[in-house]
Amino acid sequence: WQIPADANFHSASFSEADRPRVLITGGLGQLGVGLANLLRKRFGKDNVILSDIRKPSDHVFHSGPFVYSDILDYKNLREIVVNHRVTWVFHYSALLSAAGEANVSLARAINITGLHNVLDVAAEHNLRLFVPSTIGAFGPTSPRNPTPDLCTQRPRTIYGVSKVHAELMGEYYHYRYGLDFRCLRYPGIISADSQCGGGTTDYAVQIFHDAVKNGKFECYLKPSTRLPMMYIDDCLRATLEVMEAPAEALSLRTYNVNAMSFSPEEVAQEVLKHIPGFQITYNVDSVRQDIADSWPLNFDDSNARKDWGWKHDFDLPELVMTMLSFHGSDSR
Ligand code: AKB
Protein backbone atom coordinates (compact mmCIF):
# COMPACT_ATOMS: atom_id res chain seq x y z
CA TRP A 1 0.00 0.00 0.00
CA GLN A 2 3.08 2.23 0.08
CA ILE A 3 2.64 5.55 -1.75
CA PRO A 4 5.15 6.27 -4.55
CA ALA A 5 7.82 8.78 -3.48
CA ASP A 6 6.99 11.39 -6.13
CA ALA A 7 3.32 11.29 -5.10
CA ASN A 8 2.50 12.26 -8.65
CA PHE A 9 -0.05 9.60 -9.28
CA HIS A 10 -3.73 9.13 -9.75
CA SER A 11 -6.15 7.22 -7.61
CA ALA A 12 -5.70 3.85 -9.24
CA SER A 13 -6.24 2.03 -5.94
CA PHE A 14 -9.55 3.80 -5.14
CA SER A 15 -12.77 3.07 -6.99
CA GLU A 16 -15.07 6.10 -7.31
CA ALA A 17 -17.25 4.75 -4.49
CA ASP A 18 -14.25 4.21 -2.18
CA ARG A 19 -12.68 7.59 -2.63
CA PRO A 20 -12.81 9.71 0.51
CA ARG A 21 -14.65 13.01 0.37
CA VAL A 22 -12.29 15.39 2.09
CA LEU A 23 -12.75 18.65 4.00
CA ILE A 24 -9.69 20.76 4.88
CA THR A 25 -10.27 23.38 7.59
CA GLY A 26 -7.99 26.43 7.87
CA GLY A 27 -7.27 25.75 4.21
CA LEU A 28 -5.65 29.10 3.41
CA GLY A 29 -2.80 28.68 5.89
CA GLN A 30 0.69 27.42 5.08
CA LEU A 31 -0.31 23.83 4.29
CA GLY A 32 -3.92 23.68 3.08
CA VAL A 33 -3.56 24.54 -0.60
CA GLY A 34 -0.57 22.21 -1.06
CA LEU A 35 -2.45 19.41 0.68
CA ALA A 36 -5.52 20.02 -1.49
CA ASN A 37 -3.36 19.76 -4.63
CA LEU A 38 -1.88 16.46 -3.47
CA LEU A 39 -5.24 14.99 -2.43
CA ARG A 40 -6.98 16.14 -5.61
CA LYS A 41 -4.43 14.23 -7.68
CA ARG A 42 -5.16 11.16 -5.63
CA PHE A 43 -8.92 11.34 -5.05
CA GLY A 44 -10.17 13.63 -7.80
CA LYS A 45 -10.64 17.38 -7.83
CA ASP A 46 -14.25 17.48 -6.71
CA ASN A 47 -13.66 15.17 -3.76
CA VAL A 48 -11.47 17.66 -1.89
CA ILE A 49 -13.04 20.79 -0.38
CA LEU A 50 -10.86 23.59 0.93
CA SER A 51 -12.41 25.82 3.58
CA ASP A 52 -11.51 28.92 5.54
CA ILE A 53 -13.08 32.08 6.96
CA ARG A 54 -10.99 34.18 4.57
CA LYS A 55 -11.64 34.90 0.91
CA PRO A 56 -9.55 32.76 -1.43
CA SER A 57 -7.44 34.15 -4.28
CA ASP A 58 -8.83 33.69 -7.80
CA HIS A 59 -6.30 30.95 -8.42
CA VAL A 60 -7.34 28.94 -5.34
CA PHE A 61 -11.03 29.55 -5.97
CA HIS A 62 -10.81 28.24 -9.54
CA SER A 63 -8.61 25.24 -8.75
CA GLY A 64 -11.32 23.24 -6.95
CA PRO A 65 -14.21 23.35 -4.45
CA PHE A 66 -13.96 26.04 -1.77
CA VAL A 67 -16.47 26.82 0.99
CA TYR A 68 -16.72 29.20 3.92
CA SER A 69 -16.36 27.37 7.19
CA ASP A 70 -15.95 28.72 10.69
CA ILE A 71 -14.83 25.98 13.06
CA LEU A 72 -16.27 27.98 15.97
CA ASP A 73 -19.72 27.56 14.40
CA TYR A 74 -20.79 23.97 15.02
CA LYS A 75 -23.90 24.15 12.82
CA ASN A 76 -21.92 25.54 9.90
CA LEU A 77 -19.41 22.72 10.22
CA ARG A 78 -22.11 20.06 10.43
CA GLU A 79 -23.92 21.52 7.42
CA ILE A 80 -20.79 21.27 5.28
CA VAL A 81 -20.12 17.69 6.36
CA VAL A 82 -23.73 16.66 5.64
CA ASN A 83 -24.23 18.60 2.39
CA HIS A 84 -20.94 17.44 0.88
CA ARG A 85 -21.07 13.92 2.33
CA VAL A 86 -17.61 14.43 3.85
CA THR A 87 -15.78 11.31 5.09
CA TRP A 88 -12.29 12.62 5.95
CA VAL A 89 -11.35 15.89 7.69
CA PHE A 90 -7.90 17.49 7.85
CA HIS A 91 -8.18 20.04 10.62
CA TYR A 92 -5.60 22.76 9.95
CA SER A 93 -7.20 25.78 11.65
CA ALA A 94 -4.91 26.96 14.45
CA LEU A 95 -3.02 29.94 15.82
CA LEU A 96 0.72 29.12 15.91
CA SER A 97 3.14 29.51 18.81
CA ALA A 98 4.16 33.19 18.72
CA ALA A 99 0.73 34.38 17.54
CA GLY A 100 -0.84 32.40 20.39
CA GLU A 101 1.31 34.13 23.01
CA ALA A 102 0.23 37.48 21.53
CA ASN A 103 -3.48 36.59 21.80
CA VAL A 104 -4.10 33.82 24.31
CA SER A 105 -7.90 34.03 24.36
CA LEU A 106 -8.16 33.80 20.58
CA ALA A 107 -5.72 30.88 20.57
CA ARG A 108 -7.78 29.17 23.25
CA ALA A 109 -10.97 29.64 21.23
CA ILE A 110 -9.57 28.48 17.89
CA ASN A 111 -7.20 25.77 19.08
CA ILE A 112 -9.35 24.30 21.86
CA THR A 113 -13.03 25.20 21.34
CA GLY A 114 -12.65 24.81 17.58
CA LEU A 115 -11.10 21.40 18.04
CA HIS A 116 -14.01 20.32 20.26
CA ASN A 117 -16.45 21.18 17.46
CA VAL A 118 -14.42 19.25 14.91
CA LEU A 119 -14.11 16.22 17.21
CA ASP A 120 -17.86 16.18 17.85
CA VAL A 121 -18.79 16.50 14.18
CA ALA A 122 -16.25 13.79 13.31
CA ALA A 123 -17.53 11.40 15.98
CA GLU A 124 -21.17 12.09 15.09
CA HIS A 125 -20.61 11.41 11.38
CA ASN A 126 -18.07 8.61 11.65
CA LEU A 127 -15.30 10.58 9.92
CA ARG A 128 -11.60 9.85 9.70
CA LEU A 129 -9.94 12.86 11.32
CA PHE A 130 -6.39 14.19 10.94
CA VAL A 131 -5.18 16.85 13.39
CA PRO A 132 -1.59 18.11 13.15
CA SER A 133 0.37 18.41 16.36
CA THR A 134 3.88 19.84 16.64
CA ILE A 135 7.30 19.90 18.27
CA GLY A 136 5.63 22.67 20.30
CA ALA A 137 3.67 20.02 22.22
CA PHE A 138 6.86 19.41 24.21
CA GLY A 139 8.41 21.69 26.81
CA PRO A 140 11.50 22.36 28.89
CA THR A 141 11.11 19.18 30.96
CA SER A 142 10.79 16.89 27.92
CA PRO A 143 13.88 15.00 26.76
CA ARG A 144 15.19 17.19 23.93
CA ASN A 145 17.74 15.17 22.00
CA PRO A 146 16.04 13.12 20.78
CA THR A 147 12.42 13.57 21.88
CA PRO A 148 10.50 10.26 21.75
CA ASP A 149 6.78 9.83 21.06
CA LEU A 150 5.91 9.11 24.66
CA CYS A 151 7.54 11.27 27.32
CA THR A 152 6.86 14.22 29.64
CA GLN A 153 4.84 16.94 27.86
CA ARG A 154 4.63 20.17 29.85
CA PRO A 155 4.70 22.92 27.17
CA ARG A 156 4.67 26.56 28.33
CA THR A 157 2.83 28.13 25.38
CA ILE A 158 -0.93 28.18 24.83
CA TYR A 159 -0.20 26.65 21.41
CA GLY A 160 1.64 23.73 22.99
CA VAL A 161 -0.99 23.25 25.69
CA SER A 162 -3.75 23.25 23.06
CA LYS A 163 -1.87 20.68 20.96
CA VAL A 164 -1.32 18.31 23.90
CA HIS A 165 -5.04 18.74 24.57
CA ALA A 166 -5.80 17.87 20.93
CA GLU A 167 -3.61 14.76 21.06
CA LEU A 168 -5.26 13.57 24.28
CA MET A 169 -8.83 14.41 23.24
CA GLY A 170 -8.40 12.74 19.85
CA GLU A 171 -7.02 9.62 21.46
CA TYR A 172 -9.76 9.67 24.09
CA TYR A 173 -12.45 9.88 21.37
CA HIS A 174 -10.71 7.04 19.57
CA TYR A 175 -10.77 4.71 22.57
CA ARG A 176 -14.15 5.88 23.93
CA TYR A 177 -16.19 6.30 20.72
CA GLY A 178 -14.11 4.55 18.05
CA LEU A 179 -13.24 7.81 16.26
CA ASP A 180 -10.60 7.16 13.57
CA PHE A 181 -8.27 9.90 14.85
CA ARG A 182 -4.77 10.25 13.37
CA CYS A 183 -2.19 12.83 14.38
CA LEU A 184 1.38 13.70 13.40
CA ARG A 185 3.67 15.98 15.36
CA TYR A 186 5.17 18.18 12.67
CA PRO A 187 8.59 19.83 12.91
CA GLY A 188 8.93 23.40 11.55
CA ILE A 189 7.59 23.18 7.98
CA ILE A 190 9.43 24.96 5.19
CA SER A 191 7.48 25.93 2.10
CA ALA A 192 8.33 28.11 -0.89
CA ASP A 193 5.02 29.20 -2.37
CA SER A 194 2.92 29.49 0.79
CA GLN A 195 3.56 31.84 3.68
CA CYS A 196 3.48 30.81 7.29
CA GLY A 197 2.77 33.35 10.00
CA GLY A 198 2.96 33.64 13.76
CA GLY A 199 5.33 30.71 14.25
CA THR A 200 8.71 30.34 15.93
CA THR A 201 10.21 28.40 13.02
CA ASP A 202 9.13 30.99 10.39
CA TYR A 203 12.71 32.31 10.05
CA ALA A 204 13.58 29.13 8.15
CA VAL A 205 11.06 30.10 5.45
CA GLN A 206 11.89 33.81 5.30
CA ILE A 207 15.68 33.33 5.06
CA PHE A 208 15.44 31.97 1.49
CA HIS A 209 13.26 34.78 0.27
CA ASP A 210 15.53 37.46 1.77
CA ALA A 211 18.73 35.71 0.64
CA VAL A 212 17.63 35.77 -2.98
CA LYS A 213 16.06 39.21 -2.87
CA ASN A 214 18.54 41.12 -0.69
CA GLY A 215 21.57 38.85 -0.18
CA LYS A 216 21.11 39.17 3.59
CA PHE A 217 18.79 38.15 6.39
CA GLU A 218 18.15 39.31 9.95
CA CYS A 219 17.32 36.38 12.21
CA TYR A 220 15.25 36.63 15.41
CA LEU A 221 16.74 33.42 16.90
CA LYS A 222 20.31 32.96 18.17
CA PRO A 223 22.79 31.37 15.72
CA SER A 224 22.97 28.01 17.51
CA THR A 225 19.22 27.46 18.07
CA ARG A 226 18.71 23.97 16.69
CA LEU A 227 15.18 22.81 15.80
CA PRO A 228 13.66 19.89 13.85
CA MET A 229 12.54 20.96 10.35
CA MET A 230 10.88 19.42 7.28
CA TYR A 231 10.25 20.40 3.65
CA ILE A 232 6.55 20.78 2.83
CA ASP A 233 6.50 17.96 0.25
CA ASP A 234 7.68 15.49 2.90
CA CYS A 235 5.14 16.87 5.38
CA LEU A 236 2.18 16.50 3.02
CA ARG A 237 3.23 13.03 1.91
CA ALA A 238 3.60 11.93 5.56
CA THR A 239 0.10 13.24 6.21
CA LEU A 240 -1.42 11.32 3.32
CA GLU A 241 0.53 8.17 4.21
CA VAL A 242 -0.62 8.08 7.82
CA MET A 243 -4.22 8.70 6.71
CA GLU A 244 -4.03 5.81 4.26
CA ALA A 245 -2.25 3.40 6.62
CA PRO A 246 -4.33 0.38 7.63
CA ALA A 247 -5.61 0.87 11.19
CA GLU A 248 -3.92 -2.35 12.31
CA ALA A 249 -0.50 -0.91 11.34
CA LEU A 250 -0.88 1.95 13.82
CA SER A 251 0.49 1.15 17.27
CA LEU A 252 -0.04 4.83 18.18
CA ARG A 253 -2.54 7.48 17.16
CA THR A 254 -0.05 10.36 17.56
CA TYR A 255 3.37 10.03 15.90
CA ASN A 256 6.50 12.20 15.71
CA VAL A 257 7.71 12.67 12.12
CA ASN A 258 11.17 13.98 11.40
CA ALA A 259 13.40 14.90 8.48
CA MET A 260 16.32 17.14 9.48
CA SER A 261 17.44 19.37 12.31
CA PHE A 262 19.45 22.57 11.91
CA SER A 263 20.30 25.95 13.45
CA PRO A 264 20.25 29.40 11.79
CA GLU A 265 24.05 29.40 11.43
CA GLU A 266 23.97 25.99 9.72
CA VAL A 267 21.28 26.90 7.21
CA ALA A 268 23.10 30.20 6.54
CA GLN A 269 26.32 28.26 5.78
CA GLU A 270 24.42 26.15 3.28
CA VAL A 271 22.84 29.22 1.65
CA LEU A 272 26.30 30.82 1.38
CA LYS A 273 27.42 27.92 -0.84
CA HIS A 274 24.87 29.12 -3.43
CA ILE A 275 24.79 32.88 -2.83
CA PRO A 276 28.34 34.21 -2.40
CA GLY A 277 28.46 37.12 0.03
CA PHE A 278 25.19 36.17 1.73
CA GLN A 279 25.11 37.62 5.24
CA ILE A 280 23.06 36.70 8.28
CA THR A 281 22.75 39.03 11.26
CA TYR A 282 20.98 38.41 14.56
CA ASN A 283 18.44 40.51 16.45
CA VAL A 284 17.01 38.17 19.04
CA ASP A 285 13.30 38.26 19.89
CA SER A 286 13.11 37.00 23.47
CA VAL A 287 9.57 35.60 23.14
CA ARG A 288 10.42 33.37 20.20
CA GLN A 289 13.87 32.54 21.59
CA ASP A 290 12.34 31.33 24.88
CA ILE A 291 9.84 29.22 22.97
CA ALA A 292 12.54 27.68 20.75
CA ASP A 293 14.75 26.96 23.78
CA SER A 294 11.99 24.81 25.27
CA TRP A 295 11.43 22.71 22.13
CA PRO A 296 13.11 19.49 20.92
CA LEU A 297 16.51 19.69 19.23
CA ASN A 298 15.88 16.41 17.47
CA PHE A 299 12.82 14.24 17.01
CA ASP A 300 12.79 10.46 17.42
CA ASP A 301 10.35 9.23 14.77
CA SER A 302 11.32 5.55 14.81
CA ASN A 303 7.72 4.43 15.48
CA ALA A 304 6.43 6.18 12.33
CA ARG A 305 9.24 4.57 10.32
CA LYS A 306 8.54 1.12 11.77
CA ASP A 307 4.71 1.15 11.77
CA TRP A 308 3.78 2.77 8.45
CA GLY A 309 7.08 3.09 6.59
CA TRP A 310 7.75 6.82 7.02
CA LYS A 311 10.86 8.00 5.16
CA HIS A 312 11.78 11.60 4.39
CA ASP A 313 13.24 12.66 1.03
CA PHE A 314 14.68 16.12 1.83
CA ASP A 315 17.77 16.81 3.94
CA LEU A 316 19.36 20.24 4.37
CA PRO A 317 21.31 20.41 1.05
CA GLU A 318 18.26 19.41 -1.08
CA LEU A 319 16.03 21.74 0.92
CA VAL A 320 18.31 24.73 0.35
CA MET A 321 18.70 24.01 -3.36
CA THR A 322 14.95 23.61 -3.83
CA MET A 323 14.03 26.74 -1.88
CA LEU A 324 16.62 28.93 -3.61
CA SER A 325 15.69 27.75 -7.07
CA PHE A 326 12.02 28.40 -6.31
CA HIS A 327 12.82 31.97 -5.32
CA GLY A 328 14.68 32.45 -8.56
CA SER A 329 18.33 32.04 -7.58
CA ASP A 330 20.30 30.78 -10.62
CA SER A 331 23.26 29.68 -8.49
CA ARG A 332 22.97 25.92 -8.10
C1 AKB B 1 5.51 27.28 15.05
O2 AKB B 1 6.68 27.67 14.92
O3 AKB B 1 4.71 27.72 15.88
C4 AKB B 1 5.06 26.15 14.16
C5 AKB B 1 5.33 24.83 14.78
C6 AKB B 1 6.70 24.30 14.89
O7 AKB B 1 4.43 24.18 15.21
N8 AKB B 1 5.71 26.24 12.88
Q: What is the pTM of this model?
A: 0.94
Q: How far is the CA of 37 from the centre of ligand 1 (A)?
A: 22
* pLDDT value of residue 13: 66
* pLDDT value of residue 293: 98
DSSP, collapsed to helix, strand or coil, labels residue 145 as coil
Q: What is the maximal distance between C-alpha atoms in the chain?
A: 58
Neighbours of 269 (CB within 10 A): 15
Atom in ligand 1 nearest the alpha carbon of residue 159: 3
Burial class (CB in 10 A: 0-12, 13-18, 19+), 76: middle
* pLDDT value of residue 330: 53
* Active-site annotation holder among 92, 159, 173, 255: 159
Determine the angle formed by the axes of helices 114-124 and 158-177, rounding to 10 degrees.
20
Contacts of 231 (CB under 8 A, 6+ apart): 189, 190, 191, 259, 313, 314, 318, 319, 322
Atom in ligand 1 nearest the alpha carbon of residue 136: 7
Q: How far is the CA of 195 from the centre of ligand 1 (A)?
A: 13
Q: Whose CA is nearest to atom 5 of ligand 1?
A: 188
Substitution site in 95, 158, 200, 290 for ligand 1 pocket (most atoms within 8 Å of beta carbon): 200
Q: Is 200 in the pocket of ligand 1 (CB under 6 A)?
A: yes
Q: Whose CA is nearest to atom 4 of ligand 1?
A: 199
Specify the length of the chain in residues. Answer: 332
Concatenating the DSSP letter of every residue in 54-109 gives: SPPPHHHHHTS-EEE--TT-HHHHHHHHHHTT--EEEE-----HHHHHH-HHHHHI
Q: How far is the CA of 19 from the centre of ligand 1 (A)?
A: 31
Q: Is 27 in the pocket of ligand 1 (CB under 6 A)?
A: no
Q: Whose CA is nearest to atom 7 of ligand 1?
A: 134
Q: Is 134 in the pocket of ligand 1 (CB under 6 A)?
A: yes
pLDDT in tens, the chain (332 residues): 344 344 433 344 677 778 999 999 999 999 999 999 999 999 999 999 999 999 999 999 999 999 999 999 999 999 999 999 999 999 999 999 999 999 999 999 999 999 999 999 999 999 999 999 999 999 999 999 999 999 999 999 999 999 999 999 999 999 999 999 999 999 999 999 888 889 999 999 999 999 999 999 999 999 999 999 999 999 999 999 999 999 999 999 999 999 999 999 999 999 999 999 999 999 999 999 999 999 999 999 999 999 999 999 999 999 999 999 998 875 44
Please give the helix or strand (H or E) that residue 22 lies within, else none.
strand 22-25
DSSP, collapsed to helix, strand or coil, labels residue 43 as helix
| Known active-site residue 159 | yes
